[in-house]
Structure 1
Amino acid sequence: MAMDSRRTHRESAVVVGGGISGLLAARELAMKGLRVTLVEKRSHLGGAVGAHEVDGHVLDSGAESFATRTSDVAELLTELGIEDKICSPYDGGSWLYLQDGAHPAPRTGILGIPGDLSDPSIREILSSAGLRRAKMDKLLPASVGANAKTLGELVRKRMGQQVVDRLVAPVTTGVQSTHPDEVEIESVIPGLQAALAQRGSLAAASASLRAASPAGSQVAGLVGGMNQLSEALVRDVLRRRVRILTGYDAIAVDRDPDRGGWTLLQRAPQLGERVAPVHGKYLVMATDAPTTLRILGSHLDASTIPQVKAGHEIALVTLAIEQPELDSRPRGTGLLVSDQVATVRAKALTHATAKWKWIAEEMGPGKHVVRLSYGRGNDHGPLREVSLYDDQLITLAMHDAGKLLGVSITRGNLLGADVVRWKGSLPTMRPGHREKVQQFRNSLQDLEGVTAVGAWLSGNGLAAVTADTRRTMHEFIDATSAD
């Protein structure tokens, strides 16, 4: 069977999940001439790449940038015809908020790992003893930490506990919602251990990886917001005649004994719980881990089904405020907060008008947009911040923003606010995760016409999701074409 657009008989495929990975999967299949049906339980397509309105301005409700360490996202944006909207952030640098206050983050390394221990900013963060311990990294053989399973273990062995606590942990808890001792190294910094073996020290390895993506160019965005990627993908798949069904929950899938292929049973709660089947010769699961494993679990060997911890619940609070004191961008493009800080409950703050020129121009002088993130991975108690009502979270966010930025922010400054909640949006990449993923994907080869994509398989971030989804779909298409 050859899967191309010249066939007179069009094969069919069902894609479950309408996030970025699902839209990309549907697009790749449609480009090869298949009749594609995409099923999504929510009304919104694009997953964590979406938009909301605050004070009359359309802003990103989820992802607001993409990593530029690879060209995958930029190539996709070019294919979609919106490459002219790519923009770089202001080169203001980020800050750390520690127990003793705010400090500019070192800019010589990657993910908090310093690349140059002579950087004056590091002396402001580490004690004399902590700095002496960190400098031992240069004297240790490259074999020290070579077999470390987590980022925390590696940094601790090479540079000491203080570097973990005061430099690396604020970054991983702020970005990944996970402590370094729970972060799989290759899932967040691919090639770090290989660079260590080559360079001989962790600092040199970190510096070399940073040099490949120098300050100001690690991320990029889109004028108007990353939400335009979702919109462009939806337009593209509709143009390719992909059938999109929203508001349906996937219940189960089964082999169709008469027609072959797969039948998806789905439920539409808004239509009186009506159950409707959708058939396709090919099935692509593009959902979170619990849904994918629940749907496919009965068709797989139980020993090949990975135990994957669901992502943490996160609440993003966006504030539009009038505060001219912020025109000077006093804390760069934002701050990452140590989990040892008790006076601030946010784990991170992005000063959007200090980061993106297009937002600053929309807001005008004296008006600013800040976004605070709540929901630490180690916070499971009944008093956790994500359990607060929206109006309570907004009040807390104003307090936290004032502390972090060093200015007064009260209700009198507030122009508008919104709270967006994401559940399970950042799957935890714990040690051994990649091996479990590979075992799972190998087991899918025993199911004719089935594959799976998504952030829990690729790793977090648009760059990882885009690269992995397209690669997986190309391999899937090639494999089925050879049958």
Structure 2
Amino acid sequence: MSRGSQSSRAGKSTTTTPASVVVVGGGMAGLCSARELAAAGLAVTVLEASPDFGGSVAPHSLAGLTLDAGAESFSTRADTVPALARELGLGDRIRTPNPAGAWLQLPAPDGGRMAAPLPISGVLGIPADVRDPDITRLIGRAASVRAALDRALPLGSLLNQSELSLGAVVRARMGSEVLTRLVAPVVGGVLSADPDDLDVDSAVPGLRAAMRRHGSLGAAVGAMRQAAPAGSTVAGLDGGMHQLPAALVDVLKRDGANLLASEPVRTLTRRPDGWTVVTDSRTLEADAVIVAVDGPTAVDLLSPTLPQLARDRPEVVPDVALVSLVVDVPQLDAAPRGTGVLVGEGTPGVRAKALTHATAKWPWLADKAGPGNHVVRLSYGRASDTTAQVADDALFSAALHDASLLLDVRIGQADVVDWDVVRWNNALPHATIGHRDRIARVRAATADERGLEVVGAWLAGTGLVSVIDNARDRASALARRLLDAY
């Protein structure tokens, strides 16, 4: 690839035009990729299909409060997000949530509902110690006895299976009740997935190795918990997580990157010396591209150039709808259900899969809202339920009903100061069975394409830690290759 050069009149220096890179997608993966490229001195253009940057780390405003419309916390298992926050001048805003924790709402043996605090000693709801009285209270004595067999049963050939789901591991080691009453509500609320659909190695990296080392599922989970950093397993930002992409956009503009919103990319075409990127309003030529969109969109864009990718096009993930309520209900000052509620499937009368009592979870938000005012967010989108697809007004009514049941405090329409519905499409890709093989094939297919990288949660894994680490690593590697070429 040759580049033009500009010589000074004195003939003493030559300035080479920097290599150009187009980043397709302006979510966190795209913005973090662009940050690495711009910092390396490359010419960067970011094309985002929607009117705003940030993807699922987005804001919305209710009752004068700027709230997170998507992700509102991050995992503290690594320094990835805190390090980025410090780089962007947001390090002093990192906050840990109220340690009270969340509750579980489950079907009761008598056909009603039962609520209890969620045990916090496990991983994705998998308990480290099934003898804990809190666990027995939730699953029953007989199920607790069955779960305790995990410590005595040999591992056998379970861990040797090439394709193994998280649900299969929990069911085999601890029984169905642990799976349906503890693990499924957490996985459904956090990952919007069914444990039987999730690849165990993608859902809980290192779990297989820990089980081999410690001899049981419970011991492995306990060891993983002990190895995790002290304190809360999640944190957030005072003012909201949406400040991260906003700060990234500011830094990128300062560094000369060209950020274009409402520019969906229609085609990507390989040229002998680079790529042609076509949107509805422009055609760009670049030395390299980073594709930072959801899996189905990425495969659709790249398949004309790499037709072998078509067989690995991921399925579209079911829609998720989030209903946010700002309510004037002083009874909620007592945080009757801690920081929120995870709901077991089949719980009578409740269609939400999770509720976050945001003003109970984040003290900074409670200070902004003021006494008696509360922010509650309900999540809809189970595979077995179509509530997430109904109209906004119907979702609002469902949210009032569910919030009253889940918080055990009546919330009527007259109590609502403001409300909003945010819908996310394909936002939480599932690491389904065979996903690791899909990733390997996609990486192999794209590895030999000069000037191409593919990033995002569908390949990196869900969660900001995975997305950011992968995006920065891949963008840095691309920047080095381009700089070496010039």
TM-score range, shorter chain: over 0.9
Cα distance between partner residues in 2 of 1:298 and 1:305: 13
Contact kept? 1:7, 1:33, Cα under 8 Å: no
- List per-residue Cα deviations over 1:152-204 (Å, max 9, x = no partner): 00001110111111110101111111111001112221111111111111111
Match for 2:116: what amino acid?
A: H
> Which residue in the other structure is 1:361 paired with?
367
Equivalent residue, structure 2, for 1:172:
187
The normalised TM-score by structure 2 is 0.93
The residue that corresponds to 1:207 in the other structure is 222
Q: Of 268, 272, 277, which residue of structure 2 is paired with 1:264?
A: 277
Counterpart amino acid of 1:319?
L
2:69 paired with 1:54: no
Cα separation, 1, equivalents of 2:437 and 2:29: 21
Q: Which of 441, 463, 466 is matched with 1:464 structurally?
A: 466
How far, CA to CA, are the matches of 2:326 and 2:466 in structure 1? 31
Partner residue in 2 for 1:453: 455
* Distance in 1 between residues matched to 2:303 and 2:396, nearest whole Å: 41
Q: Equivalent residue for 1:349?
A: 355
Distance 1:410 1:445, change over 3 A: same
State the Cα distance separating 1:215 from its structure 2 match.
7.9
Q: Does 1:245 align with 2:260?
A: yes
- Which whole-Å CA distance do the structure 2 matches of 1:18 and 1:394 have between them? 30
- Aligned AA (1:406): D
The secondary structure found in structure 2 opposite 1:255 is strand
What are the superposed Cα offsets for residues 228-258 of structure 1, whole Å, 9 maximum, x if unpaired?
A: 001101001111111011112211111335x
State how far apart, in whole Å, the 2-side matches of 1:127 and 1:220 are. Answer: 32
User: 1-side partners of 2:419 and 2:310: how far apart?
Assistant: 45
Once the two structures are TM-superposed, the CA of residue 143 in structure 1 deviates from its matched residue by 3.7
* Contact persistence 1:89–1:216 (CA under 8 A): no
1:328 matches 2:328: no
Say if 2:389 is the partner of 1:387: yes
SS at match of 1:287: coil
2:6 match:
none
Match of 2:288 in 1: 282
Q: Aligned letter for 1:36?
A: V
Tell me the SS of whatever aligns to 1:37: strand
* Separation of aligned partners in 1, 2:480 and 2:277: 24
Q: CA deviation at 1:325?
A: 1.5
TM-score of the pair, normalised by structure 1: 0.93
* 2:48 aligned residue: 40
- Cα shift at 1:9: 2.4
Tell me if the contact between 1:113 and 1:206 (Cα under 8 Å) persists in the aligned partners: yes
Q: Give the corresponding residue for 1:422.
A: 424
Please tell me whether residue 116 in structure 1 is matched to residue 129 in structure 2.
yes
Give me the whole-angstrom Cα distance separating, in 2, the residues matched to 1:110 and 1:331. Answer: 20
Please, which moves more after superposition, 296-305 or 47-56? Answer: 296-305
Q: CA deviation at 1:77?
A: 1.0
| 439-448 vs 457-466, which moves further | 439-448
SS at match of 2:247: helix
2:74 to 41, 66, 70: 66
Counterpart of 1:90 (choices 87, 94, 98) is: 98
Structure 1 residues without counterparts, runs of 5 or longer: 268-274
CA separation of 1:191 and 1:242: change in aligned 2, threshold 3 A: same
Preserved contact between residue 90 and residue 216 of structure 1 (Cα < 8 Å) = no
Deviations 1:266-301 (A, max 9, x none): 11xxxxxxx420111011101111111111111114
The Cα shift of 1:411 comes to: 1.1
The answer as to 2:140 corresponding to 1:127 is yes
- 1:68-104 CA-to-partner distances (Å, cap 9, x unmatched) read 1111111111111110110000101111110122111
Aligned-residue offset at 1:146: 1.5
Off by >2 Å, runs of 4+ in structure 1: 6-9, 142-145, 211-216, 474-483
Amino acid at match of 2:65: H
- Kindly indicate whether the alpha-carbon contact (under 8 Å) linking 2:324 and 2:375 is maintained by their aligned counterparts in 1: yes
Deviations 1:297-334 (A, max 9, x none): 11114267513112221110011111122111111111
User: C-alpha separation between the residues in 2 aligned to 1:156 and 1:139?
Assistant: 15
- Counterpart-to-counterpart distance in 2, 1:304 and 1:415: 48
- Render the CA deviation track for 1:363-386: whole Å, top value 9, x for unaligned: 12211111000111343xxxx112
Q: Compared with structure 1, are the counterparts of its residues 463 and 122 closer, same or farther at alpha carbon in structure 2 (3 Å cutoff)?
A: same
- Does the 8 Å contact 2:303/2:309 carry over to 1? no
SS in 2 for 1:125: helix
Per the TM alignment, residue 213 of structure 1 is displaced from its structure 2 partner at its CA by 3.3
Residues in 1 aligned to 2:120 and 2:398: alpha-carbon distance in whole angstroms: 30
Deviates more, 1:201-210 or 1:160-169: 201-210
Post-superposition offset of 1:147: 3.2
Moved more, 178-187 or 44-53: 178-187
Cα distance, 1:441 vs structure 2: 1.4
Partner secondary structure for residue 245 of structure 2: helix
Distance 2:374 2:333 in 1: 8
Q: Which amino acid aligns with 1:57?
A: L
Using a 3 Å threshold, how does the CA distance of structure 1 residues 215 and 174 change in structure 2: closer, same or farther?
Answer: farther
Q: Hey, what does 1:193 align to over in structure 2? A: 208
AA partner of residue 352 (structure 1): A
Give SS of 1:316's match: strand
Deviations 1:373-406 (A, max 9, x none): 0111343xxxx11222212211110110010011
Alignment RMSD: 1.8
User: How far did 1:142 drift?
Assistant: 3.4
User: What letter corresponds to residue 184 of structure 1 in structure 2?
Assistant: D
1:403-457 superposed Cα distances (whole Å, 9 cap, x missing partner): 0011111012111111111111011210111221122112112211111111111
Aligned length: 468
Shift of 1:145: 3.1
Match of 1:272 in 2: none
User: How far apart in 2 are the matches of 1:480 and 1:204?
Assistant: 47
Please give the alpha-carbon distance, in whole angstroms, between the structure 1 residues aligned to 2:44 and 2:328.
Answer: 47
Q: Which SS does the other structure have where 1:102 is aligned?
A: strand
